[in-house]
Amino acid sequence: MATTGILDTAQLLDTSKVGAEAAKSLEKTWNEAKSQPDDKKREVLAQLEQRRIALRQALMDRARPIVAELAKKKGLEVVLEKGAVVWSTGEDLTKEVIAKVDAGGPLKS
């Protein structure tokens, strides 16, 4: 049994339903602001960046206890970010975490 788990947080953020919906919401707001004067666009862009940070934090806050639960259930001692791992025989938890994160419904920022 593997004692190390792997989580691809980029995949979690980009391909989870809730992550994709959050990104679409931000993109929609930006597209609506593109026709505005430059000062208004800068203001909207700053607001979107704050919202993006909050949504990302909300997604990761939702994922952390799920990762901990899965790790304990599987007897894992550590879960590493995929980008920090060169090679591993550890178990990839990404798909399971995405499914459980998505089951929680839309993110609230």
Q: Alpha-carbon distance 58 to 33, whole Å?
A: 24
Asked whether 71 and 64 are in contact (CB, 8 A), the reply is: no
Q: Alpha-carbon distance 88 to 42, whole Å?
A: 43
Rg for the chain (alpha carbons), in Å?
17
Which CATH entry fits the domain spanning 4-103: 3.90.1150.10, 3.30.70.1560, 3.20.20.70, 3.30.910.20?
3.30.910.20
Q: Each residue's pLDDT tens digit in the chain (109 positions)?
A: 569 999 999 999 999 999 999 999 999 998 988 888 989 889 999 999 999 999 999 999 999 999 999 999 999 999 999 999 999 888 999 999 999 999 999 988 6
The burial of 63, by beta-carbon neighbours within 10 Å (0-12 exposed, 13-18 middle, 19 or more buried), is given as buried
In this prediction, residue 33 carries a pLDDT of 87
